[in-house]
């Protein structure tokens, strides 16, 4: 007596239910207006940062002392089309410097987050899954690392050697990975308790096979999903470092050092310090809008409300 077909007919499933959680999160996030606004802003900025400096003839570090302190367009009398956002105290074009600064800032933000994600999640997964000794060791290191505030670590290391972009990325990544380790560990612990892991063990699968084939794909996408918010956090942190002189050294422009130089001229040529501030505000708002929309989407999908 072979009972061929499954008994109850497969219920008609709406396309939404057929996708993996990651796709559902993306779909949910994309549908939100705040994401669209954020993404639009980010695209405009990225276009500006990557393409405009290439096509424009002016070199961001070239100084034209005679044309310094030119106000931005439509402000004061001396504004000029060549410098839409005006020039700084050494006659360098502010728009270009801001865009180059943005390029460095975003690059540092993204690289640091990737470094934090890879190191943090790897250690988090291992300590979450293996448990006992490895878990306590890794967790103690994370606690130690977390109790050194990021700014102190940055100051200690960058204060001595001459800060370069890789050094900054390394320092910020070093200071940030414990947060990812903790999140990955708790997610791995939750996943480990799920029945299908017991099922895999019974089939004879080794720990490594379970981590790589099952735990990682289930745990990592939601964490990666929320990393966008961290890019914004690192960007603002990098500009703080630049402001106190520990960011990338002149002549390379970054938000931090432009604002720091411009601070002196805030009274008479306020735009030198304000323009990078506005750019930073603009970028961070776009990243935060996107990030929070994605975070809300992730929370909804994971809680099954989507």
210-269 positions binding other proteins, by CB under 8 A: 214, 217-218, 232-233, 236-237, 239-240, 243-246, 249-251, 255, 259, 261, 263-269
Determine, following the binding rule CB under 8 A, whether residue 18 of this chain makes contact with other proteins.
yes
In the range 262-301, which residues lie near other proteins by CB under 8 A?
263-269, 273-274, 276-277, 280-281, 283-285, 287-289, 292, 299
In the range 92-151, which residues lie near other proteins by CB under 8 A?
140-141, 143-144, 146-151
User: What are the tokens at 300?
Assistant: 């909804």
| Closest to other proteins by CB, 78 or 140 | 140
**Total binding residues toward other proteins, as defined by CB under 8 A:** 98
| Closest to other proteins by CB, 2 or 81 | 2
Query: CA 269, 165, 223, 148 torsion: positive or negative?
Result: negative
| Closest to other proteins by CB, 121 or 283 | 283
| Closest to other proteins by CB, 33 or 57 | 33
| Closest to other proteins by CB, 70 or 179 | 179
Residue of 234, 233, 227, 122 whose CA lies nearest to 168: 234
R_g of the chain, CA atoms, integer Å: 25
| Closest to other proteins by CB, 78 or 263 | 263
Residue 62 CB, shortest distance to other proteins, in Å, is 8
Longest dimension (CA), the chain: 96
User: What are the tokens at 86?
Assistant: 């005006």
Residues 6+ apart with CB under 8 A from 262: 88, 89, 269, 272, 273, 274, 276
Helix (H, G, I), strand (E, B) or coil at 87: strand
In the range 185-214, which residues lie near other proteins by CB under 8 A?
194-196, 198-205, 209, 214
Residues 6+ apart with CB under 8 A from 183: 120, 124, 223
Residue 82 CB, shortest distance to other proteins, in Å, is 19
In DSSP notation, 27-58 reads HHHHHSHHHHHHHHHHHHHHHHHHHHHHHSSS
In the range 28-87, which residues lie near other proteins by CB under 8 A?
34, 61-63, 65-66, 68-69
User: What are the tokens at 141?
Assistant: 């290191």
User: What are the tokens at 152?
Assistant: 């102190």
Residue 194 CB, shortest distance to other proteins, in Å, is 5
């Amino acid at each position: 007596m072979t009972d061929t077909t499954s008994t109850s007919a497969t219920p008609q499933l709406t396309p939404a239910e057929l996708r993996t959680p990651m796709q559902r999160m993306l779909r949910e996030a994309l549908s939100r207006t705040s994401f669209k606004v954020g993404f639009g802003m980010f695209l405009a900025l990225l276009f500006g940062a990557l393409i405009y400096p290439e096509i424009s003839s002016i070199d961001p570090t070239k100084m034209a002392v005679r044309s310094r302190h030119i106000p931005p367009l439509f402000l004061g009398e001396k504004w000029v089309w060549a410098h839409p956002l005006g020039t700084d105290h050494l006659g360098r074009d502010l728009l270009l410097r801001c865009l180059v600064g943005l390029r460095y800032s975003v690059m540092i933000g993204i690289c640091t987050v990737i470094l934090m994600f890879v190191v943090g999640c790897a250690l988090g997964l291992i300590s979450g899954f293996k448990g006992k000794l490895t878990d306590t060791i890794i967790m103690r290191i994370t606690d130690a690392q977390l109790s050194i505030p990021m700014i102190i670590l940055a100051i200690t290391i960058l204060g001595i050697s001459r800060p370069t972009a890789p050094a900054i990325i390394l320092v910020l990544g070093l200071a940030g990975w414990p947060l990812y380790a903790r999140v990955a560990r708790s997610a791995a612990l939750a996943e480990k308790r799920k029945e299908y892991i017991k099922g895999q063990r019974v089939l004879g699968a080794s720990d490594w096979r379970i981590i790589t084939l099952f735990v990682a794909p289930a745990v990592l996408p939601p964490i990666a999903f929320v990393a966008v918010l961290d890019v914004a956090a690192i960007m603002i942190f990098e500009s703080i470092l630049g402001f106190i002189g520990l960011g990338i050294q002149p002549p390379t422009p970054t938000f931090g050092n432009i604002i720091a130089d411009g601070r002196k001229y805030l009274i008479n040529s306020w735009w030198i310090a304000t323009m990078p501030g506005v750019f930073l505000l603009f970028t961070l708002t776009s990243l935060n809008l996107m990030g929070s929309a994605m975070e809300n989407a992730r929370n909804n999908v994971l809680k099954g409300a989507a």
